[in-house]
Structure 1
Amino acid sequence: MSDQQQPTNFLQAMADVVPIKHDDKVTHIGPSSATLAQSLKRQALEKQLQQDGNYLSVEKVEPLDPYDFLDYKKDGVQEGVHKKLRLGQYQIDEVLNLQMQRIESARHNLFETLMQAHRRGLRTLLIQHGLGLHSKPFPALLKSYVNQWLRQIPEVLAFHTAQKYHGGLAATYVLLKKSEQQRLVNRERHQKR
C-alpha cells in the first residue's frame, strides 16, 4: 500500500462518522480532589458532630513549637482579669489531664469537660496537655490542637500557659464565662446594694 492510498482509505472509512453533539447538561468530571478514604473520614466526622454536638475541628491545625506560650483573650476581657489568670491567681476548679490521649479522645474529653464545667458554674480549669516533644506527625501535636480548640469554644473567655508550679509549658489555664445562673445571682447581689 502506498502512502497516498492510506489517507484516502482513512477518509473513506470515516465518511459516515457523525460528530458528537455537545450537551450543555453533561459536565466533565475530572479526577476527584479527595480520595475515597478522605471522603469517608469526613462523612464519619460529620456524623459524629451531629450526634454529640462537638464542633471542634480536627481537619487542620497550625503546628506550634513545644516551648511556645499559649496566650488568648477575647475582646472585652479586662486586662486585670487576664493578668490574674496568667499569674495563676484564680482558684483552679477542675483539672483535665489530656496527656497520652489520642486526638479524637482528647477532643471529646476537652469539649465535654468544658461544657459540663460551664453548666456547673466553674470558672477556672487547668488543662494538662504535655509538651509533645516526641508526638507524631510533628512535635506538640496535642498542644497545637488544644490551642485551636479553646479558641473555637464560645464559653472560653481566655487562656494562658500555666505557671511552673502548675505544669508550665505543658499545661494551660482556662477561664470560662459565667453561666446564666451566675449572672442572675450577680444581678440580684448588685441590686440589693
Structure 2
Amino acid sequence: MTISDDALFAELMQDVVPIEQSSFIRTTKSLSPTYAQLEKQKAALADVHLNQDYLIQEPVIFVDPYDELTYKKTGVQAGVFKNLRLGKYQVDASLELQSVKLNRAKNTLISFLNECQQRNIRTVLIRHGIGLYNQPTAAILKSYCAKWLAELPAVLAYYSAQKHHGGVGATYVLLTKSCEKKLENREAHFRKR
C-alpha cells in the first residue's frame, strides 16, 4: 500500500507545535530607508567613477588659441595649484589629442583619465594643440578639452603647461586619488592617532 505525499507529510508533522508570536519579533518591514542608508546612497552618488560619460553635450564657449586654460575646484590648496601651474609636479602620463577627431576625443580623454586614476597617477599632460587654423572657429579641441576637464569629477585642477611641455597647446591636469589610495591614506592617518 502506498501513502500519498500529503498523508506522509501530515504523519511526520503530527507532533510539531507552532511557535508562539514573540513581542520581540518585528513582523512588519520598514519600506522607507533609514538615515544611514540615505547617507550611504548620497556618498555613492558623490563618488562618481570615470567609466561612464558624465560630460554635458552643450555648446562650448570658445577660447582664444593663445589663452591660458585654468580651473580649480574648491578645496584645492593655493600652494598645490601654484605648483601645478609652475609645472613642479612630475608628469607621469601624457595624452596626444591633436591628431584625434573631436567626436572621438572625448571618449579617448575619458578612457585615458580612467586608466591613469586606476594606476594611481595624479598629474597628467593633455596635448590638445592651439588649433590656430581650425575651421570655422579656432581652438575647437582646446575649448572642448577645457569644458570636459572642468566637468569630470576626478579632475581637481588644470592649468596650461609650461613652454617646455607645450605651452598653451597643452594642459597639466591634477587628478583625485583612486579609491585604494584614499583608503590607504585614511588607514595611515588613523594609525597616527
**Under a length normalisation based on structure 1, what TM-score does the superposition of the two structures give?**
0.70
Task: For residue 58 of structure 1, report the CA deviation from its aligned partner.
Answer: 4.3
CA distance in 2, matches of 1:170, 1:98: 10
Amino acid paired to 1:82: F
Task: For residue 140 of structure 1, report the CA deviation from its aligned partner.
Answer: 0.3
Residue 159 of structure 2 aligns with which residue?
Answer: 160
CA distance in 1, matches of 2:53, 2:191: 39
CA distance in 1, matches of 2:103, 2:151: 16
Amino acid paired to 1:114: L
Task: For residue 162 of structure 1, report the CA deviation from its aligned partner.
Answer: 0.3
CA distance in 2, matches of 1:154, 1:137: 30
Alignment of 1:100-115 (within 5 A): 100-115=99-114
Write out per-residue CA displacement over residues 18-69 of structure 1, whole angstroms, 9 at most, x where no aligned residue. xxxxxxxxxxxxxxxxxxxxxxxxxxxxxxxxxx732324441111100000
Change (3 A) 1:94 1:68: same
Amino acid paired to 2:52: G
Amino acid paired to 1:118: Q
Amino acid paired to 2:59: K
Amino acid paired to 1:119: Q
Alignment of 1:1-193 (within 5 A): 53-193=52-192
Task: For residue 192 of structure 1, report the CA deviation from its aligned partner.
Answer: 3.2
Amino acid paired to 1:159: Y
Instruction: Find the residue that maps to 2:76 and give its secondary structure.
Output: coil
Q: Could you tell me the percent identity over the aligned residues?
A: 50
**Under a length normalisation based on structure 2, what TM-score does the superposition of the two structures give?**
0.70
CA distance in 1, matches of 2:118, 2:103: 23
Instruction: Find the residue that maps to 1:192 and give its secondary structure.
Output: helix
Unaligned runs of 5+ in 2: 1-50
Amino acid paired to 1:79: A
Task: For residue 90 of structure 1, report the CA deviation from its aligned partner.
Answer: 0.7
Task: For residue 119 of structure 1, report the CA deviation from its aligned partner.
Answer: 2.1
CA distance in 1, matches of 2:189, 2:57: 42
Residue 26 of structure 1 aligns with which residue?
Answer: none
CA distance in 2, matches of 1:89, 1:77: 16
Q: After the TM superposition, which parts of structure 1 deviate over 6 Å for at least 4 consecutive aligned residues?
A: none
Instruction: Find the residue that maps to 1:81 and give its secondary structure.
Output: helix
CA distance in 1, matches of 2:79, 2:88: 11
Task: For residue 105 of structure 1, report the CA deviation from its aligned partner.
Answer: 1.1
Residue 42 of structure 1 aligns with which residue?
Answer: none
Change (3 A) 1:58 1:100: farther
